[in-house]
Structure 1
Amino acid sequence: MTTARNMAKQAYSLTQRILGAEVVGVKLNESVPEEIIDQIKKDIHEHRLLLFRDQGVISGKRHVEISRWFGELESTFYHHPKSPHLDVFRVSNDEKEGCRNVGRTGWHIDGSFMDKPFRFSLYYIESAPRKGGTAFIPLKDLIENLSEEKRQRWEKLWMVSDRQSRLIHPLIYPHPSTKKPTLCFHLGMTEGFVWNYKSKDERWTSWTETQEILTEIFDEIQSNSKLIYVHEWQTGDFILSDNLAVGHEATPETQSPVSEVGLRVLHRTTIRGINYPSK
């Protein structure tokens, strides 16, 4: 399905994809009319992922300017010496070019360990490898495919981040903007879970039970493989993600050496959350 809108001097169109939509007619490294920016801000919640192909060179400064359309930037990660901006997280399969081993700790949303998990993640690929993509899954669809019994169980669970703050967030909660059900989770950075948090039936899981729950979530994702979209990057791609609505994970090939797959350099910014995830 393709929807076209003519705005200002640019033609804005969306082409539906397996997950999300591809935006045609917009060059992010040029001035973008306010009418189109407003439409992008509406469409991101409807489609969850917006892909902009063939964007050429987007500087760190421009990446940050685009990010500010969606709110205040918030970065919590190591600043690599080659990062083009303090707010741009630069990752690579070459430690001289960017931070390595990023995104391979398990399916997650960005900032699950923050008091307010990030609202949006914005990705730009400066150098795409021959192989090595990012897998995405729509969380509302995943939840709606749960059995009634399993969903009732997950509704009682709260995740405990493995960071020192030990922040506690509900596993299933309404998206703060769309109010649709979504997940706050990280399969590689979770210390534990709490059943029925702040109720008379509150109970914290043992490490064994925690691992069982994490495995259960992973198995549910794998059993819904038809929902997964793996984006194989092309140099110049820019992706805008509704981070709270889409889980993701870097594929194993993203860590393959440059000699096998070529150089991978990915830039990412994240937007500060506005609401604490709650029931």
Structure 2
Amino acid sequence: MNSHTEQLAPAVPAPAPEHVAIVEQAGGRLAALSPIGASLRGIDLRAPRPDAAVIAALESVMAARGFLVFKDQQTLSTDELVNASVWWGGRAMHSTHGVHPATPDGNRHIFRLSNEHSHGIPGVGPQFHNDGAFCDAPFSHVAYHIVRVPEHGGGTVFAHLGAAFAALPPAKQAYWARLTSVNSTTGVAHPLVHDHPLSGRRSVWLHLGMTGAVIETSPAGDRHRLLEAEELRQLCRDYNELLEAGFSNGYTLAYEYEPGDCIFIDNYAVAHRATAEAHRPAAEQGLRIMHRATVAAPFEAFEPHFGLPQHLPIHRPSPLGPGVWQPGGIGFRWDASAPMQN
């Protein structure tokens, strides 16, 4: 069993009483996990979509707490997972992945992950990231349904991006707010600091495995330059250390799955990565199988600031002069020893 307690850290607010009451009226029982996230019992994802007030309350809980664990969903089929996923965000799937041969019914909206290649895609997501960073508008929500829990651990680390921004010193907040990341595969640009579209909380946002460049805008907003290799390396290290510091400072949690867990994350509120145990061989950890589903954002673009274009020609020579401009694959390798796979 998980050892999560109900003690809350001040970095992340408790679920609002009015949201708790709405969910309880629908038969659900919300409980805050510590230090982030929440669990929910009593609402079956196989059932018809709850009414609009319940959906709005649960979306607000995800925006504030980062993620929501629907308990006791052992028999959830792939079609039922897809149907429940479109309760949120843009109310439509946004599926960009390949389909593993072991995916039940070949469901194109299911990305099947495993630590055994014959059962699913292995090795995915070892560094902190947000899913869909290569899209103009990255996925609003992402579902993770644990189909097979390994006997010896293999969870997911979640870090609250609003609390992480608040933990930065003011000078670094100001500097990071002038940075824009460029995706290494598509050239789409996103702000490193944004205001969460639902909660309004100022938050950080950077993909540590798919960034091809970072642009710094001058304090006056009139000049742009690329970060040099050592600057970008330091930024990525600082970002990783910031999210890892949440274990001590109350905004990061390594969640170990229980049978039947289905987690929905707000993809603008939390970053995530797999634990090291999740990628260890099935012979060592036990077989791990997870189904992921990705939800369209309810807006057209997650636009960069300072008048920068949404798209930059990452596969062509840099239009911004010298600095890191690394197209393709995992982009800039900021730590030569770190495993990288998207």
Q: Displacement of 1:223 after TM fit? A: 2.8
> Is this contact kept in 1: 2:114–2:287, CA < 8 A?
yes
> For structure 1, which segment, 148-157 or 195-204, has the greater mean C-alpha deviation from structure 2 after superposition?
195-204
Q: Which whole-Å CA distance do the structure 1 matches of 2:189 and 2:22 have between them?
A: 45
Q: Find the counterpart in structure 2 of residue 167 from structure 1.
A: 188
- Output the amino acid matched with 1:67: S
Q: Which whole-Å CA distance do the structure 1 matches of 2:63 and 2:242 have between them?
A: 24
Pairing partner for 2:59 from 41, 50, 57: 41
Q: Which whole-Å CA distance do the structure 1 matches of 2:72 and 2:224 have between them?
A: 51
Q: Find the counterpart in structure 1 of residue 33 from structure 2.
A: 17
TM-score under structure 2 normalisation? 0.76
What is the DSSP-based 3-state SS (H/G/I as helix, E as strand, rest coil) of the residue aligned with 1:28? coil
Pairing partner for 2:164 from 121, 142, 148: 142
Q: Displacement of 1:199 after TM fit? A: 4.1
What is the DSSP-based 3-state SS (H/G/I as helix, E as strand, rest coil) of the residue aligned with 2:230? helix
> Is this contact kept in 1: 2:180–2:304, CA < 8 A?
no
> Is this contact kept in 1: 2:147–2:260, CA < 8 A?
yes
Counterparts in 2 of 1:263 and 1:10: CA distance versus 1, 3 Å: same
Q: Find the counterpart in structure 2 of residue 176 from structure 1.
A: 197
- Output the amino acid matched with 1:173: H
Q: Displacement of 1:42 after TM fit? A: 3.7
1:260 paired to 2:280 = no
Q: Which whole-Å CA distance do the structure 2 matches of 1:277 and 1:58 have between them?
A: 35
Mapping of residues 186-225 of structure 1, within 5 Å: 186-196=207-217, 199-225=221-247
TM-score under structure 1 normalisation? 0.92
> Is this contact kept in 2: 1:176–1:277, CA < 8 A?
no
Larger RCO (CA within 8 A; separation ≥ 6): 1
> Is this contact kept in 1: 2:215–2:227, CA < 8 A?
yes
Counterparts in 2 of 1:42 and 1:224: CA distance versus 1, 3 Å: closer
Share of identical aligned residues, percent?
A: 29
Q: Find the counterpart in structure 2 of residue 75 from structure 1.
A: 95
Q: Displacement of 1:38 after TM fit? A: 4.5
Q: Which whole-Å CA distance do the structure 2 matches of 1:211 and 1:7 have between them?
A: 44
Q: Structure 1: where are the runs of 5+ without partners? A: none
Q: Structure 2: where are the runs of 5+ without partners? A: 1-5, 7-14, 306-342
> Is this contact kept in 2: 1:93–1:263, CA < 8 A?
yes
Mapping of residues 62-141 of structure 1, within 5 Å: 62-70=80-88, 71-84=91-104, 85-104=107-126, 106-130=127-151, 131-141=153-163
What is the DSSP-based 3-state SS (H/G/I as helix, E as strand, rest coil) of the residue aligned with 2:212? strand
> Is this contact kept in 2: 1:192–1:207, CA < 8 A?
no
Counterparts in 2 of 1:160 and 1:8: CA distance versus 1, 3 Å: closer
- Output the amino acid matched with 1:204: L
> For structure 1, which segment, 218-227 or 61-70, has the greater mean C-alpha deviation from structure 2 after superposition?
218-227
Q: Which whole-Å CA distance do the structure 2 matches of 1:133 and 1:58 have between them?
A: 19
Which has more strand, going by share of residues?
Answer: 1
> Is this contact kept in 1: 2:22–2:54, CA < 8 A?
no
- Output the amino acid matched with 1:60: T
> Is this contact kept in 2: 1:173–1:278, CA < 8 A?
no
Counterparts in 2 of 1:265 and 1:145: CA distance versus 1, 3 Å: same
Q: Which whole-Å CA distance do the structure 2 matches of 1:251 and 1:122 have between them?
A: 17
> Is this contact kept in 2: 1:174–1:278, CA < 8 A?
no
Q: Which whole-Å CA distance do the structure 2 matches of 1:108 and 1:93 have between them?
A: 19
> Is this contact kept in 1: 2:49–2:87, CA < 8 A?
no
Q: CA RMSD in A?
A: 2.2
What is the DSSP-based 3-state SS (H/G/I as helix, E as strand, rest coil) of the residue aligned with 1:11? coil
Q: Find the counterpart in structure 2 of residue 270 from structure 1.
A: 294
Q: Displacement of 1:39 after TM fit? A: 3.5
Question: How many pairs are equivalent?
Answer: 277
- Encode CA deviations 1:96-119: one digit per residue, 9 max, x unaligned: 110111111x11111112111111
Q: Which whole-Å CA distance do the structure 1 matches of 2:296 and 2:158 have between them?
A: 21
Q: Displacement of 1:5 after TM fit? A: 3.8
Q: Which whole-Å CA distance do the structure 1 matches of 2:87 and 2:181 have between them?
A: 30
Q: Which whole-Å CA distance do the structure 2 matches of 1:8 and 1:151 have between them?
A: 38
- Output the amino acid matched with 2:263: I
What is the DSSP-based 3-state SS (H/G/I as helix, E as strand, rest coil) of the residue aligned with 2:132? coil
